[in-house]
Structure 1
Amino acid sequence: MANVDVNELAKFSELAHRWWDTESEFKPLHQINPLRLEWINGLCPLSGLKVVDVGCGGGILADAMARKGAQVLGVDLATKSLRVAQLHALEAGTDKVEYEEIAVEDLAARQPASFDAVTCMEMLEHVPDPASVLRALGQLVKPGGWVFVSTLNRSFKSFLFAIVGAEYVLKLLPAGTHEYARFIRPSELARMAREAGLELHSAKGLTYNPLTQRYSLGMDTGVNYLLALRRPA
């Protein structure tokens, strides 16, 4: 049985045709994509690297990393989202990205230690067993390579901002996008990473200012956060 929640897949499949509409439900992802891309590229220059984006959805990050010069494989289990990603790559002429419908655990079994960098953004809070995903990410990356993950902190501040604020007050996301019980504290994610053979390099917080309607990276990990991990050489 794949590590997947069929209800979560259905939810994103219904919205698949809107992935590349920058004013749609995916507007926040388009807004934060330059921030996370530059953070990744600053730590691990992407040009010439072999990268896999796990839980790639419609390909927003995968496409951007390919345009930085990486050879990118985007994987997901949402068929409709992958079709949208493939179509966008054709329309945009992005020639260094490919997409495949496969579970990350199956990909890790097929291609262990094959990638210079692995990304898994905004996915862990949507799967039944995030520790299984971390183990697979650790298996996919080459010794000395990088793993980049992002998710939501399980905190009162996160409940207030990411669910009440973002989904019901500001309506940045559809109501029901997130389930608070599935949010992961940074300490829990760091433990999963250690158990997967990965070492924590650094962390960043992602915050949103409703007045300026801008996102920024900083040290506040109370809501959204990103971890940079490495597999020892």
Structure 2
Amino acid sequence: MAGSEPKKRGKGRPPAKQSGVGREALIAATRELLQESPPALVTASAIARQAGGDPALVRYYFGNRENLLLEVAKRIGEESNQKPPTKGDPVELLGAFIHATFRFTRSARNMQRLMIDELDSTSSPEMRESVREWNKVPVDYYAGLQELDDKGHLTDFNPLFLHLAVIGISDFFVTGRPLIELLVPEDTDMDELAQEYEAFVERLLLDGLRKRAEDADT
């Protein structure tokens, strides 16, 4: 009978429409997974499972997993962007930017690892250029602080080196948490410890970059 054979589904959207799983749901699911898992484990199947849809939706909306990860990285990068300052106290602005970097690494856990892993495996010029542009933002911000520092409150420093130092210092407290937990008492409040660490890093960097009176005389 003509009605006895199942109809083949075409190449359009997978039959998850009724579940409400769309482009934004997949992006949200990917971000949630990246908070808990390294990028290698954030597969199309894992993303679809987290979103409650079909893995084919990743291909339907983004073409492939790499494009989805690129979109997620773009979103996170845009949220953290700050233009170089044109006014204000450079020392205070530096302290505020250090705190902003810590907030970014907490809200986008595994983001740095995502960029590195994808750069290592991608052949996409768009991905490489996007990562370059996102990482130029903080470098340009630090360079802007130097231009703003017309009274010489800060010592001379390399903006690239400062960016690498702040990212490394802030990111490891998030990604290296299992190691840190081994080094502190079992009943340690890790959120409180994170705040203490952030304050310590701010003092460390500001004290190191603030020009001393004897330096100003030379």
TM-score w.r.t. structure 2 length?
0.25
**Comparing both structures, which one devotes a greater share of its residues to strand?**
1
TM-score w.r.t. structure 1 length?
0.24
**Comparing both structures, which one devotes a greater share of its residues to helix?**
2
